[in-house]
Structures are given as structure tokens and as C-alpha cells.
Amino acid sequence: MNQMEKPEQFDVDALRKKISENAAMGDAKPGAADIVEINPLARQIAGQFQESSYSPTIITGQLRLLEFLCLLAFGLGIHYFISVNPAEHFIGVLAISLIGSGVALLLLQAADCYHISSLRTPLRSTGRYFGALTVALALVALSLFVFIDNGLDFRDWFVIWYGSGLAFLFVERNLVGFAIRRWGRNGVMERRAVIVGGGQPAKDLIRALEQQPENDIRICGIFDDRGSGRSPDVVAGYPKLGTVAELVEFARLARIDMLIISLPLSAEARILQLLKMLWVLPTDVRLAAHSNSLRFRPRSYSHVGAVPMLDILDKPIRDWDSVAKRIFDIFFSLLALSLLWPVFIGTAIAIKLNSKGPVFFMQKRHGFNNEVINVLKFRSMYTEMSDPSARKAVTKGDPRVTKVGRFIRKSSIDELPQLFNVLRGDLSLVGPRPHAVSAATHDRVYAEVVDGYFARHRVKPGVTGWAQINGWRGEIDSDDKIKYRTAYDLFYIENWSLLFDLKILFLTPIRLLNTENAY
């Protein structure tokens, strides 16, 4: 087989499809739900990274907004201070400032002035951002001269705006560069990575990453299933922290951003085996391609400096998507609370009159990244019969449920206090429903029933979800019910959008009218 045929041997899209194909509907392997305890060294290292880091994408996005608003403010402020009558020409100045600031932003972007490497070394990038601003405002000045009869009236204001813009960019960019370098040293802004696979391929990869002058990757360790004879305990100065099974727990504790698999592309079966274990994590999964002669479509690649990576799996709902979803959650939660407060008060009074005990009930459930969260509900059971572990599912006519409890469970009013969980950040309005940590069907916890069950936890759980509005709510008394529920949850994660969230949110009250499976 010649060299030109080799790319056909490794199809990235086909590999992605294989990972998720039948994952939700397949039976879990024995031991798949076991939490593998990591060794003391791995736990100590993971403890150093438990605080979340800043996303470079969010930082650069905020910087774009800051520079646009500051240039606009300079334009308006200078006009106010140098004009005898600030109201005169205000609309013209506003329009020019908006256009000039917008064009400057576009040219700064085109000149790669928002790349982290440029921001980290502002003095070396001075020519680029000075040039971008100069070209932008030169275009605006030319437009004033050509299209506006009294364009020269803006001359003094325009010159001062240009000079103040250059001074602002110079000072601001150097302050930002200082902050980014400091954040990089302190681990505040970095991408935390783990190398999967050891030996010479891992050593070559680490050396290639270390040679990148503006590298934001921090390697936290190496995980490999092979013993010391085939895979050394220390590779390029980094310790081997355990097996791939232990990596799942380590990645959750250390909030790892990226898993880099350093195996040859010819080892497709082994790569697929690894990915079936790792896809449950809310991380990017990349396949190192620096040592392979094969070349793929450009869209399959990402780069760390000049080191090419094949993009296998991406973290869902990340960066600005997560910001948009958070704004969505807060807005609609506050709206719901403002409309439903009479329901809250009425339900609380009914619970107190019907049975002794507190109004609210707290239950431990699995949240994002498999972390345990406390979920708030209206109490629907007699206090002395409550089951915080939810080990025994509520069934039709369950004697533990109060009269008021039956009504609020059927109508899902008992779930309304979870709006406070949304405002606190534990839950999202829409997402996979959180299950109690000990929830089970036929004495088997859900992760033992469904292979890939924990992939539901790659996003925040929700008050309502795609599975619930499709009829998969209420008692889970068979393996098929949790399999179908998981399948719908994974579909939601893979196809998420704000419009999808909006659709689910507005369909929820309608679908709740079907109380067949709610006890």
C-alpha cells in the first residue's frame, strides 16, 4: 500500500462514531461502575489543581469587549471635553466612534493581536496592534474626507482620539501581558493536560511541547496501563501516576482540560479501547499527530504551538457557550420565581398542615463532573420514612408518600425549589436529570446497567431535560428505562444549543400534564 493510501486507514469521524455507537443502550461490563482509587502521589498532585483555571478563550473575549468599549468611550469623551457645544455633531461623533472602534477590533483580530502568544509578549507585538489601529482610523479619516462635506471639522477631535487610542493600547496591552505571564506562572490561566501512554512516543511529545516558546499547556502527569518493563516510571521528567482506569478519577479531581493520547495511529483498536473509557470525562481528547507522516483534513487538527493534534472529542458546552447558558439559566430562573412565588407559599403551607417535619428535603445527587451536590426539593414523604439515599424507588401507592406529596410529585411541584440550585450554580434549568448517588434498579446502581452512564455528567444536570419531555420520567423499575433515559440525555449533550434549551423549557409544562409514570 503506497503512502497516499494511508490516510484512509484512520478515519477520525468514523472513530468518533464508534465511541458513542450503542454506548447508552449497551450493557455495562462488570466493574465498569467501580471507582478506582488513585495512589497517594496522584492524589497529592491532583490536589494542587483543584481550583479552576481561567479559560484563554474567555479572557481574549473579555479583552475584545474592553478595547471596543474603551475606544468608543475615548471618542465620546474627547468630543465632550474639547467641544464648546457637546450636543453639536454628537450623533456624527457617536457613529464615527462606533465604526472606528469596530473596524479597529476587526483589524486587531486579523493581525492575530488576540492570540495568547501576542498578548504574553506585548512589546514584540507593538507594531501589529499600532498598525491595526492606524489602518482602521485611517480608513475612517478617508471616509470623513470623501463623504462628509464638513469632515475637516472633526480634525482636532480625530487626531486626539487617534493619539489617545495608541497610548491606551500600549499601556493596556503591557498590563495585560504582565497579568497573563503571572497567571501562567501561578497556574491561573493554563490548559491542564495528561499524557495517555508512555515510553518513547510520550517522551517525543513532551519534548515537542516544551520547545514551544509560548506554550499554555501544563502537563500534570502520565498514565499508562503497561508495567515498568515496557513503560518507564518517569518519562522526560514526568512521573507515571497510574493506569488509565485511575486516570478517570484523577482527571475529575484535578479538573483536567485535555487528554493527549500518545499512541501511533496504527493502534486504532487500542485507541478505541482507551476512548471508550475516557469519553465520560468533560475534557478535550486529542491524539498526538506530531510524529506521524499521515496528513488529514485541516478541520481535524488543532495545534499546541506548532504541535499538531487530531481532535477526537471536545468538551461540551464550553467557554462562551457556558456563559450564554448561565445567563439563560439565571434569567429564566428569576422569571419563574417571580411568577411562581404564590405556588411556593401555598405548597409550604400545605406540607406543614399535612404532616410534621420540615418543608424542604435535601438529597445528595450526582452533578457536573460526577461531583456530589445537595439538591433541594419540597418534602413529599413522611419525615420518619424519608429515604435520602433513594435506594428504594417510589412506587405507585407508596405508603411513605403523604397526601400532599402525591399531588406535588405528580405535578412536579416538588422539584420547584431546585430553581435555587440553578441560581447557586449546582444545576442548570435544562440538562440530564440528576440521580441520587445510590439510585438503583433491581439492586444494581445505574452505572452497572448502562455502559457510559457517567457521560451524562459531562454537563451540569438540569431541572428538566430532553428525556423527561419525551416521557422518560418517574419510577425507574427496569433496565430499559435507565438505558433509554441515558440515550436521550447523551443526545441532548451532543446536540445542545440555546434554542434546544428553549424548546425543552417551553415544552416542559405541556408534557408534565402526562402524569402516568409520576408517583
**pLDDT tens digit string along 7-63?**
344 455 665 555 555 554 555 544 444 467 788 888 888 888 767 777 888 888 999
Is 90 exceeded by the pLDDT of residue 420? yes
d(CA 408, CA 304): 52
Greater model confidence, 153 or 211: 211
Q: Which of 124-138, 191-205, 220-234 has the highest mean pLDDT?
A: 124-138
What is the total residue count of the chain? 519
- Percent with pLDDT over 90 in the chain: 25
Q: How far apart are CA 154 and CA 173, in angstroms?
A: 28
Handedness of CA 424, 425, 429, 433 (dihedral sign): negative
Q: Residue 320's closest CA among 137, 100, 64?
A: 64
Distance (Å, whole) CA 376 – CA 62: 34
Q: How confident is the model at residue 104 (pLDDT cuts 50, 70, 90)?
A: very high
pLDDT score recorded for residue 35: 60
Q: How far apart are CA 355 and CA 343, in angstroms?
A: 18
Q: Which residue has the higher pLDDT, 249 or 20?
A: 249
Cell of 60: 481574549
Mean of per-residue pLDDT scores for the chain:
81
3-state secondary structure (DSSP) of residue 262: coil
Question: What does the pLDDT read at residue 337?
Answer: 94
The radius of gyration of the chain from alpha carbons, rounded to an integer in Å, stands at 28
| Interval 493-517: pLDDT, tens | 989 999 999 999 999 888 776 656 5
> With 0-12 CB in 10 A as exposed, 13-18 as middle and 19+ as buried, what is 483?
buried
Q: What is the pLDDT of residue 135?
A: 92
Q: What is the Cα–Cα distance from 489 to 476, expressed in whole angstroms?
A: 15
Q: Which CATH class is domain 3-51+190-315?
A: alpha beta
List, in sequence order, the alpha helices (H) in 111-221. Answer: 116-120, 126-147, 155-186, 199-210
User: CB of 401 within 8 A of CB of 394?
Assistant: yes
Position 519 pLDDT exceeds 50: no
- pLDDT tens-digit profile of 127-173? 999 999 999 888 888 877 765 555 456 778 888 999 999 999 999 99
| pLDDT confidence bin for 327, thresholds 50/70/90 | very high
Strand partners, 14: none
Buried b (16+ CB within 10 A) or exposed e, 388-407: eebeebbeeebeebbebbbb
Average pLDDT over residues 447-458: 81
Distances (CA, A) of 380 to 276, 283, 441: 39, 37, 21
Indicate if the pLDDT at residue 303 is higher than 90: no
Q: Which of 74-78, 442-446, 484-488 has the least mean pLDDT? A: 442-446
Set of cell numbers at residue 89 = 455633531
**Would you say 18 and 272 are in contact if contact means Cβ atoms under 8 Å apart?**
yes
Residue 8: what pLDDT?
A: 41
Query: Residues 468, 433: contact at Cβ < 8 Å?
Result: yes
Tell me the whole-structure pTM to 2 decimals: 0.81
φ, ψ of residue 241 to 5 degrees: the values are: -95, -5
513-516: long-range pairs with CB below 8 Å, 24+: 514/471, 515/410, 515/411, 516/474
CA–CA–CA angle 342, 327, 513 (5° rounding): 45
Q: What is the DSSP string of 34-73?
A: --PPPPHHHHHHHHTT-SPPPPHHHHHHHHHHHHHHHHHH
Measure the CA–CA gap between 373 and 436, rounded to whole angstroms: 9
Percent of the chain topping pLDDT 70: 83
> What is the pLDDT at residue 253?
86
Report residue 149 as a C-alpha cell. 462635506
Nearest to 285 by CA among 320, 334, 326, 244: 244
Specify the 3-state DSSP secondary structure of 441: strand
Domain ranges of the chain: 3-51+190-315, 56-186, 320-511
Residue 110 has pLDDT above 50, yes or no: yes
Is the CB of residue 333 less than 8 Å from the CB of residue 430? no
Q: Which three cell numbers stand for residue 481?
A: 428505562
Q: Cell numbers for 187, please give them.
A: 497556574
pLDDT at 33: 43
Query: What letter would DSSP give residue 434?
Result: P
Q: How far apart are CA 68 and CA 181, in angstroms?
A: 23
